């Protein structure tokens, strides 16, 4: 077209892509270069992130084109847009950014499940008034997810076509609008006479300053209907087709987000040869030259996403498919996040483990060298020890005679010591007599003190407030004041005493020794013994506070009286102690004499003592060395197995580091995409992902265990204890849930996963609710604010009120993090979790929903159904055996986890030891304890294995029946290939099995083999009785033939060609009994 209409133009230059024209960099529209525009937008985006929305944008060519296109339209009067593209392509974020750049206020409706046409009309009236009366320029972003009813589109269609919505303003609202518009026009100096002129001005301003931006996903089911029934969407809007991200766009995003991560060696040109060259070429434009490993990783990210998308499309195209998932750019971003997270975490773990293992091996090598040196020195010290012992024995004979003299004086000292002990016994006896009298009076004192401690300040304040207290109260407090040593006891002084903060502490810490005989006499004569009307009961009736004080005064006086009475006895004790001191002094003199003798003998023994010390030192040293050698050899022998394992680990670290990037790509892909698919498709995708890495030259582990790589044994045992089934699919799903970046939507037909999640998040105060709950919004707001977990059941469609949460559209204002829920901004806690669940395996999910959540499908697999069937049969037939089996399975898991933890603790202790292991007794002792615990655990595992073998032998009788259940369940599932109407869930099959077991209860006298035959017949009868009635006539025959093959374990049944269905029925009946409920037409 250009060549035909424009002559003399260099089309290679004029039409060279990309073409960027904008007014942002100058006052007029002109062509700008990519880098110049990128630099300008990068600066503006930094401000946008701070002021508006913290959602990082990668600015590549397509984004630049969309930004400039949106800007051009929003600058025009009556400029409206229809943005079509996958969820996460950037439609809304780019619109908000361009609106912010142009000074437009952004408006979006706050939809929720009960949001209706009246609410929508109210929002329309509000936004139109803001534009026409208040003079705002508004960008109205209308997202497809907020289109609750078709009437919303019809109203918007009318608004775009004419600037008004019929029936929007009527009656009083119309009158109020006209008056407001007239006032607004007068302020601007415009005089309008008729209502028609005012209305035309109103609609004209709305059309000029209100810009509507529709965001739609062409993958959604309503796209075709809306595009044909709403012409104004196309003839009044500029259509900007975002579509989905192409390989180049994904490559640019992948490069941007992986730019700063450590991928190891980035050199070399061995990546993407042969088949992988095409994948490398997809992203070659965004790398200046051969990008090596980094380019290969970006190419892999792109292809991994495309493989998952192809798998989703392929699965949806199958005749038996009842629902599907949609993949969008948001999933690609999640893939990158998971990859970066997995790579950083695994690199950190591997490097830490490498550091520990190498340190541990170095310590073991050092220990072996130290042991060899110690053995050599031990032999040399043995010779020296023998010489020293011979010299010491010669000296010993000379010292024996002199030692006898000292021994005699020691005997005398012992006799005197005995005499001192007898005197001490007598002293103690006298002390006990004195203490016995005190002990009789002391409990009453303690009781009174306890009562005083219980006095409330309020009661004391009431007493103090009395101007004229009762006589009993006054006398009691006078008594207390006298005992506390107050100079006067008038009521005014008593009130001052009560006001003191240390009044009660002084009473509690009162020392009876401070009571003089004068005080005691005065208190007894005037208040206690001399006043019969003053008793505890009477005082207590007068005041709750004074009763305990009276008890205290009475018990203190009694205690002091006893204390003074035993004073002579205490004097006697003091005299005895003085006499004992004299005897003890004599004993000390004799002891000193003995010590003097021993000192003189020591002079004679000097040579002998020196030799003995040398001998003992040598012995001690040799014992220490020998002990260290023995312990070290024992430790090295015990650690032989661990040492070999550590050596193998050390040798494999380089291989692990080389495959770290590839493993992280596979794990990230698994976490991002596998949750929705069944076990077969997961394995198929994993094989294709591995092939991609292979042709790109990215190393990975062939036998990569996903669950084991992403979780610990301890976690898996905990999950099973919380109710997660132990089959592979469930464990994989548990891993996905544990690492989910987005909030999960769990498809759980059996309900087991819901029970598991409730138990797992029990400590987070998880609540169960649903969209139908009247208090749903209140419950949601509380969970968001306080950071608790929320499980939403029966989710068939997402309430739009959740969209800001699922998108994590967080606003930061004044140090607060807020999220919009309905019409309110709620403080957002980072601990908040929401789990969406549905029991419908055929739930229809929109592309918008799929892009906002992590899908996790817990649909039962044949393997897990076989395990469940075995457990159910055992619960009915051998309940004690099933209990024992379940307990053993749990115990084995815990034991294996414990053994692994002990191994890690051994390595940690050895690697953390500073210096030689033999020099640190604490480390050696700790290692010995760990080794003993490890041996005990290994013995327990061996015992458990023996018991489990016995249990398996007993369970073996029932395993063929469980395998039969699996085959029947697979057959029922395969019926979906005949018609999508034939949907038999795992719950329905388990209901059949439970009915069979309930109706044919166990009889103890019947052998197991005969019992299983009976249950087999009953199961097949029930399956036909319940299943065949829902099948078409011809399908019943097919079902019966396949069932007969399973029953007789003969795949040849029905393979012969027959002329009529009766012949097939006759063939099948040969293998069943005559009254078998055949599903014949």
pLDDT for 628-662, tens place per residue?
777 666 666 666 666 666 666 666 667 777 888 89
Alpha helices in 219-275 (DSSP H): 223-229, 232-235, 247-258
Alpha-carbon distance 811 to 828, whole Å? 9
DSSP-based three-state secondary structure for 1058 = coil
Contact between 551 and 536 under an 8 Å Cβ cutoff? The reply is yes
Tokens of 134: 């208040």
Alpha-carbon distance 768 to 762, whole Å? 11
Torsion sign, CA atoms 978, 982, 987, 993: negative
- Residue 26 DSSP symbol: S
Contact between 305 and 319 under an 8 Å Cβ cutoff? The reply is no
Q: Which residue has the higher pLDDT, 459 or 974?
A: 974
Alpha-carbon distance 342 to 350, whole Å? 12
Confidence band for 743, pLDDT divided at 50, 70 and 90: very high
pLDDT for 887-924, tens place per residue?
666 665 565 666 566 666 665 666 666 656 555 556 56
User: Is pLDDT above 80 for 858?
Assistant: yes
Alpha-carbon distance 787 to 955, whole Å? 46
User: Is pLDDT above 90 for 335?
Assistant: yes
In whole angstroms, how far apart are CA 826 and each of 113, 765, 766, 814?
A: 19, 19, 19, 14
In whole angstroms, how far apart are CA 164 and each of 167, 208, 665?
A: 9, 12, 53
The mean of the pLDDT values for the chain is 79
Task: State the pairing for strand pair 811-813/789-793.
Answer: unpaired
Phi and psi of 791, rounded to 5°? -115, 120
Alpha-carbon distance 982 to 972, whole Å? 8
Q: Exposed, middle or buried by CB within 10 Å (0-12, 13-18, 19+), for 962?
A: buried
Residue 142 β-bridge partners: 214
Contacts of 306 (CB under 8 A, 6+ apart): 247
What is the reported pLDDT for 891? 62
User: Is pLDDT above 50 for 1081?
Assistant: no
The helix (run of H) or strand (run of E) holding residue 836 is: strand 833-838
Tokens of 455: 């006095």
Confidence band for 340, pLDDT divided at 50, 70 and 90: very high
What is the reported pLDDT for 323? 78
Alpha-carbon distance 287 to 264, whole Å? 18
Alpha-carbon distance 686 to 638, whole Å? 41
What is the reported pLDDT for 17? 74
Instruction: Out of 318-327, 558-567, 987-996, give the one with best mean pLDDT.
Output: 987-996
Alpha-carbon distance 297 to 48, whole Å? 31
User: Is pLDDT above 50 for 1079?
Assistant: no
Residues 1029-1039: what's their mean pLDDT? 78
The helix (run of H) or strand (run of E) holding residue 558 is: helix 546-565
In whole angstroms, how far apart are CA 1015 and each of 265, 964, 995?
A: 63, 11, 11
Residues 284-302: what's their mean pLDDT? 83
Alpha-carbon radius of gyration of the chain: 46
Q: Exposed, middle or buried by CB within 10 Å (0-12, 13-18, 19+), for 35?
A: exposed
Instruction: Out of 149-163, 395-409, 738-752, give the one with best mean pLDDT.
Output: 738-752
Residues 960-972: what's their mean pLDDT? 83
Alpha-carbon distance 752 to 758, whole Å? 10
Confidence band for 996, pLDDT divided at 50, 70 and 90: confident
What is the reported pLDDT for 672? 94
Torsion sign, CA atoms 502, 503, 507, 508: negative
Confidence band for 481, pLDDT divided at 50, 70 and 90: confident
In whole angstroms, how far apart are CA 647 and each of 703, 924, 941?
A: 20, 21, 25
How many beta carbons lie within 10 A of that of residue 292, not counting itself? 19
pLDDT for 375-389, tens place per residue?
777 777 777 777 777
Alpha-carbon distance 580 to 578, whole Å? 5
Contact between 968 and 1019 under an 8 Å Cβ cutoff? The reply is yes
How many Cα atoms within 13 Å fall on the side-chain side of residue 672? 34
Alpha-carbon distance 526 to 41, whole Å? 98
Confidence band for 87, pLDDT divided at 50, 70 and 90: confident
697 torsion bin: left (phi>0), alpha (psi -120 to 50), beta (else) = left
What is the reported pLDDT for 970? 81
Contact between 392 and 612 under an 8 Å Cβ cutoff? The reply is yes
What is the reported pLDDT for 664? 92
DSSP-based three-state secondary structure for 414 = helix
Contact between 936 and 638 under an 8 Å Cβ cutoff? The reply is no
Distance, CA of 396 to chain centre:
74
pTM above 0.85, yes or no: no
- Residue 764 DSSP symbol: G
The helix (run of H) or strand (run of E) holding residue 872 is: helix 862-877
Tokens of 777: 């919004």
Q: Which residue has the higher pLDDT, 191 or 649?
A: 191
Confidence band for 670, pLDDT divided at 50, 70 and 90: very high
Tokens of 412: 């005398």
Q: Which residue has the higher pLDDT, 286 or 609?
A: 286
Alpha-carbon distance 949 to 955, whole Å? 10
To the nearest whole percent, how much of the chain has pLDDT over 90?
Answer: 14
| Closest to 757 (Cα-Cα) out of 776, 730, 728 | 730
Instruction: Out of 109-118, 131-140, 575-584, 892-901, give the one with best mean pLDDT.
Output: 131-140
User: Is pLDDT above 60 for 294?
Assistant: yes
The helix (run of H) or strand (run of E) holding residue 813 is: strand 811-813
Alpha-carbon distance 853 to 743, whole Å? 5
Alpha helices in 700-816 (DSSP H): 706-710, 713-721, 728-739, 752-760, 776-786, 803-806
Q: Which residue has the higher pLDDT, 434 or 726?
A: 726
Confidence band for 833, pLDDT divided at 50, 70 and 90: very high
Distance, CA of 912 to chain centre:
29
Distance, CA of 836 to chain centre:
17
Contact between 309 and 327 under an 8 Å Cβ cutoff? The reply is yes
| Closest to 954 (Cα-Cα) out of 1045, 1032, 881, 1036 | 881
| Core vs surface per residue 316-327: b (16+ CB within 10 A) or e | eeeeeeeebbbb
How many Cα atoms within 13 Å fall on the side-chain side of residue 149? 14
What is the reported pLDDT for 448? 63
How many beta carbons lie within 10 A of that of residue 549, not counting itself? 26
Q: Which residue has the higher pLDDT, 626 or 929?
A: 626
Tokens of 87: 């969820």
The helix (run of H) or strand (run of E) holding residue 914 is: none
Contacts of 970 (CB under 8 A, 6+ apart): 862
Our CA angle for 733, 734, 737, nearest 5°, is 85
What is the reported pLDDT for 854? 92
Confidence band for 969, pLDDT divided at 50, 70 and 90: confident
What is the reported pLDDT for 266? 47
Alpha-carbon distance 52 to 894, whole Å? 50
Our CA angle for 103, 107, 111, nearest 5°, is 165
């Amino acid at each position: 077209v250009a060549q035909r209409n424009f002559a003399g133009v260099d089309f290679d230059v004029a039409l060279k892509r990309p073409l960027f024209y904008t007014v942002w960099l100058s006052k007029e529209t002109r062509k700008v270069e990519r880098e110049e525009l990128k630099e300008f937008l990068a600066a503006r985006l930094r401000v946008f992130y701070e002021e508006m929305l913290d959602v990082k944008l990668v600015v590549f060519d397509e984004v630049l084109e969309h930004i400039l296109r949106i800007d051009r339209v929003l600058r025009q009067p009556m400029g409206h847009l229809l943005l079509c593209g996958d969820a996460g392509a950037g439609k809304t974020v780019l619109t908000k950014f361009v609106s912010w750049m142009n000074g437009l206020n952004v408006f979006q409706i706050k939809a929720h499940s009960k949001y209706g046409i009246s609410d929508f009309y109210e929002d329309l009236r509000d936004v139109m008034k803001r534009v026409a009366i208040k003079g705002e320029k508004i960008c109205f972003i209308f997202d497809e997810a907020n289109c609750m009813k078709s009437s919303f589109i019809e109203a918007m269609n009318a608004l775009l076509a004419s600037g008004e919505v019929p029936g929007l303003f009527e009656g009083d609202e119309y009158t109020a609008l006209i008056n407001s518009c007239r006032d607004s026009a007068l302020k601007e100096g415009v005089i309008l006479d008729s209502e028609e002129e005012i209305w035309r001005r109103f609609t004209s301003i709305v059309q000029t300053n209100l810009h509507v931006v529709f965001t739609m996903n062409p993958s959604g089911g309503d796209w075709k209907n809306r595009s044909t029934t709403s012409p104004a969407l196309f003839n009044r809007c500029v259509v900007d087709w975002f579509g989905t991200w192409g390989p180049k766009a994904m490559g640019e995003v992948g490069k941007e987000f992986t730019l700063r991560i450590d991928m190891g060696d980035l050199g070399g040109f061995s990546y993407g040869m042969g088949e992988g060259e095409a994948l490398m070429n997809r992203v070659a434009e965004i790398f200046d030259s051969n990008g090596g490993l980094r380019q290969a990783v970006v190419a892999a990210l792109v292809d991994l996403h495309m493989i998952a998308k192809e798998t989703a499309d392929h699965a949806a195209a199958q005749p038996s498919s009842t629902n599907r998932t949609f993949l969008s750019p948001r999933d690609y971003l999640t893939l990158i996040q998971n990859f970066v997270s997995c790579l950083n975490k695994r690199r950190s773990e591997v490097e830490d483990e490498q550091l520990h293992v190498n340190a541990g091996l170095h310590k073991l090598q050092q220990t072996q060298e130290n042991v060899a040196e110690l053995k050599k020195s031990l032999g040399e010290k043995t010779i020296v020890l023998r010489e020293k012992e011979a010299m010491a024995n010669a000296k010993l004979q000379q010292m024996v005679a002199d030692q006898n003299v000292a021994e005699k004086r020691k005997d005398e000292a012992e006799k005197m010591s005995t005499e001192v002990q007898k005197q001490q016994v007598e002293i103690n006896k006298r002390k006990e007599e004195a203490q016995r009298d005190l002990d009789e009076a002391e409990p009453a004192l303690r009781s009174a003190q306890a009562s005083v401690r219980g006095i409330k300040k309020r009661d004391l304040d009431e007493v103090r407030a009395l101007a004229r207290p009762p006589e009993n109260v006054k006398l009691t407090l006078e008594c207390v004041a006298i005992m506390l040593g107050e100079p006067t006891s008038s009521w005014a002084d008593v009130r001052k005493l009560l006001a003191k903060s240390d009044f009660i502490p002084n009473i509690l810490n009162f020392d009876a020794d401070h009571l003089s005989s004068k005080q005691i006499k005065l208190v007894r004569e005037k208040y206690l013994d001399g006043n019969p009307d003053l008793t505890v009961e009477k005082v207590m009736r007068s005041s709750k506070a004074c009763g305990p004080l009276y008890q205290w005064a009475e018990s203190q006086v009694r205690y002091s009286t006893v204390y003074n009475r035993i004073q002579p006895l205490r004097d006697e004790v003091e005299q005895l102690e003085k006499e004992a001191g004299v005897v003890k002094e004599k004993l000390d003199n004799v002891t000193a004499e003995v010590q003097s003798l021993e000192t003189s003998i020591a002079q004679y023994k000097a040579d002998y003592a020196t030799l003995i010390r040398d001998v003992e030192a040598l012995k001690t040293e040799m014992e220490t060395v020998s002990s260290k050698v023995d312990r070290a050899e024992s430790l090295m022998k015990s650690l032989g197995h661990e040492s070999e394992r550590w050596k193998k680990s050390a040798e494999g670290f380089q291989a692990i580091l080389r495959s770290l990037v590839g493993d992280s790509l596979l794990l990230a892909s698994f976490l991002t995409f596998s949750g929705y698919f069944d076990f077969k498709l997961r394995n198929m995708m994993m094989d294709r992902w591995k092939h991609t890495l292979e042709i790109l030259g990215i190393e990975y582990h062939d036998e990569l265990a996903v669950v084991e790589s992403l979780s610990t044994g301890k976690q898996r045992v905990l999950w099973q204890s919380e109710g997660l089934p132990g089959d592979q699919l469930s464990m994989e799903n548990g891993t996905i849930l544990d690492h989910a970046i987005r909030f999960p939507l769990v498809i759980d037909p059996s309900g087991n996963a819901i029970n598991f999640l409730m138990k797992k998040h029990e400590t987070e105060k998880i609540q169960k609710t649903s969209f139908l709950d009247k208090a749903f919004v209140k419950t949601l707001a509380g969970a968001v604010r306080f950071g608790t977990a929320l499980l939403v059941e029966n989710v068939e469609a997402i309430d739009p009120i959740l969209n800001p949460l699922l998108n994590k559209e967080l606003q930061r204002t004044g140090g607060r993090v807020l999220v919009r829920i309905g019409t309110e901004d709620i403080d957002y806690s980072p601990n908040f979790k929401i789990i969406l669940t549905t029991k419908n395996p055929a739930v229809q999910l929109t592309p918008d929903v799929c892009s906002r959540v992590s899908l996790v499908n817990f649909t039962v697999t044949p393997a897990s159904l076989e395990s469940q069937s075995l457990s159910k049969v055992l619960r009915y037939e051998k309940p004690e055996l099933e209990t024992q089996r379940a307990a053993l399975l749990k115990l084995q898991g815990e034991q294996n986890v414990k053994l692994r933890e002990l191994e890690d603790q051994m390595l940690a202790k050895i690697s953390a030891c500073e210096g030689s292991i033999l020099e640190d007794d604490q480390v050696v002792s700790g290692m010995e304890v760990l080794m003993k615990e490890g041996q005990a655990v290994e013995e327990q595992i061996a015992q458990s294995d023996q018991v489990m073998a016995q249990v398996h032998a007993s369970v073996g009788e029932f395993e063929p029946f469980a395998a039969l259940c699996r085959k029947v369940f697979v057959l029922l599932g395969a019926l979906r290939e005949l018609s999508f109407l034939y949907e038999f869930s795992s719950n329905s099959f388990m209901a059949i099995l439970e009915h069979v077991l309930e109706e044919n209860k166990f009889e103890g006298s019947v052998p197991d083999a005969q019992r299983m035959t009976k249950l087999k017949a009953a199961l097949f009868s029930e399956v036909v009785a319940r299943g065949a009635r829902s099948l078409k006539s011809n399908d019943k025959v097919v079902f019966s033939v396949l069932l007969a093959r399973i029953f007789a374990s003969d795949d040849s049944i029905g393979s012969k060609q027959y002329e009529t269905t009766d012949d097939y029925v006759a063939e099948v009946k040969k293998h069943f009994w005559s009254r078998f409920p055949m599903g014949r037409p």
